[in-house]
Amino acid sequence: MADENQDKKQRTKKAPAKKAEKKDAKAKKPAAKKEAKAKKAPKKPAAKKEPKKPAAKKASKAKKEPAKKAARKAPAAPPVIKAKARYVRIAPRKARLIADQVRGLHIEKARALLQFSPRGAAHPIHKLINSAAANAENNHDLIGDEMRVASITVDEGPTLRRFRPRAMGRATPINKRTSHIAVALTPVED
């Protein structure tokens, strides 16, 4: 039994020695890598990097020139002037009825239609079209009265949820819907 205990002690003594050797080897490896990198660094000549940069610039210029020529050949698209009204307190379903009537019309005809429309959505859409015409005059140096409604969209905004008391202690929901209205105007083509 004594021999077995001595064997166990010798085994346990050898194991820590091996761990220490592994730690020393790991510590030496990063130091060896740093030395190798330091030796390789001076070997790279700085002159080789400089000629590559002008070649890269020439290649990028060559790529840009065809794009510029293609842009010159394409006819200029008419400017699109946009205006948005968000969180308008009208249901999108009601506002779309008016938006469908106005879409594609000349701005003067659209204004006349909206001015005499009995629907509640006509007022905010009328204000929005006037705002887009003002944007055309102030931001793009165009004539506001010589535009047409290229597109008009009515998207749904957040819904305000309310409740109404009813008979026998019940409550029924009331949804107060909002709209996001966007208008795009383009100059009339002669």
Question: pLDDT for 170-186, tens place per residue?
Answer: 999 999 999 999 999 99
**Burial class of residue 137, CB neighbours in 10 A (0-12, 13-18, 19+):** middle
CATH code for the domain in which residue 170 is found: 3.90.470.10
Report DSSP letters for 74-96, one per residue: SPPPPP-EEEEEEEESS-HHHHH
Residue 106 makes CB contacts below 8 A (sequence gap 6+) with 147, 148, 188
In a domain, 40, yes or no: no
Better-scored residue on pLDDT, 144 or 176: 176
Asked if residue 50 is part of any domain, the answer here is no
User: Per residue in 117-142, pLDDT tens?
Assistant: 999 999 999 999 999 999 999 999 99
Whole-angstrom Cα distance, residue 104 to residue 120?
21
Distances (CA, A) of 135 to 8, 83, 139, 161: 91, 8, 5, 35
Establish if 141 belongs to a structural domain.
yes
Alpha-carbon distance of 144 to 188, in angstroms, equals 10
Does 64 map to a domain?
no
User: Does the global pTM surpass 0.75?
Assistant: no
Query: Higher model confidence: residue 126 or residue 72?
Result: 126
Q: Tokens 């390789």 correspond to what residue?
A: 40
Q: Give how many domains the chain has, as a whole number.
A: 1
Task: Specify the DSSP class assigned to residue 82.
Answer: E
138, two tokens: 């102030």
Can you read off the two tokens belonging to residue 83?
Answer: 């205006």
Is 37 within the bounds of a domain?
Answer: no
Q: How far apart are CA 13 and CA 109, in angstroms?
A: 100
Does residue 48 sit within a domain?
no
Question: Strands, DSSP E only, in the chain?
Answer: 81-88, 147-156, 160-165, 171-176, 179-187
Residue 180 lies in a domain: yes
Residue 152 covered by a domain: yes
- β-strand partners of 81: 185
Residue range(s) defining the domain that contains residue 124: 81-187
